[in-house]
Amino acid sequence: MEAIELARAIRSRDPARPSWPEAILCYAGLHAVLWHRLAHALWRAGMKGLARFVSHIGRFLTGIEIHPGARIGRRLFIDHGMGVVIGETAEIGDDVLIYHGVTLGGLSGQPGKRHPTIGNGVAIGAGAQVLGPIVVGEGARIGANAVVTKEVPPHCTVVGIPARPPAGSICADPTVGYGLTHPEDDPVGEQLAAMRAELAALRARVAELERQPETTR
């Protein structure tokens, strides 16, 4: 029974270590996947209007929006879950971890494949946006609030906007959760630090020029 398999995955991966009743009754991510299974079966049977209605009920009850056309593998763990959006042509492998606020969205309004393909064992941090018909390789990690529009190699960690490996990363870090290997790995912070250093140098140069006599300027 899939509910039991999902609950087992939750109990093994969630640091809160919920009891069996908690895992089955109190995790919106589990309920969202079960609602999606029904909606997806109806979608494949050609009853697309009814599939969308069932999907809408699941969204109303869980706060997680999964298009009935999306393909989802086994043991998907959507932790917390509120605000997750998964598009029609998205494909998700087995044992994937998704936190709240994640979007698996498209960049084009044209028909056809327009949403990401997520490999087995991928972890996607809170608020991350994975956009377009790209492939996120097996075991990859996407940091919180990252914006991903290009392919992510297997077992690679990416962070920031646009998403890329942290400074000094060999793109093979196995860290789970939010995808951050070290607290100091912050691409935006690196850029701000470089700008501050440049500004300080310019201020020092201006001060030096102001101290020089008029005749030497």
Q: Catalytic positions, please? A: 100
Cis peptide before 21 (omega within 30 of 0): no
Give the relative orientation of helices 28-44 and 48-62 as an angle to the nearest 10 degrees: 170
Residues with Cβ within 8 Å of 160's Cβ and at least 6 positions away in sequence, in order, are 143, 146, 186, 187, 188
Residues with Cβ < 8 Å from 68, sequence gap 6 or more? 36, 39, 40, 42, 43, 48, 51, 52, 54, 55
Residue 163 structure tokens? 């998403």
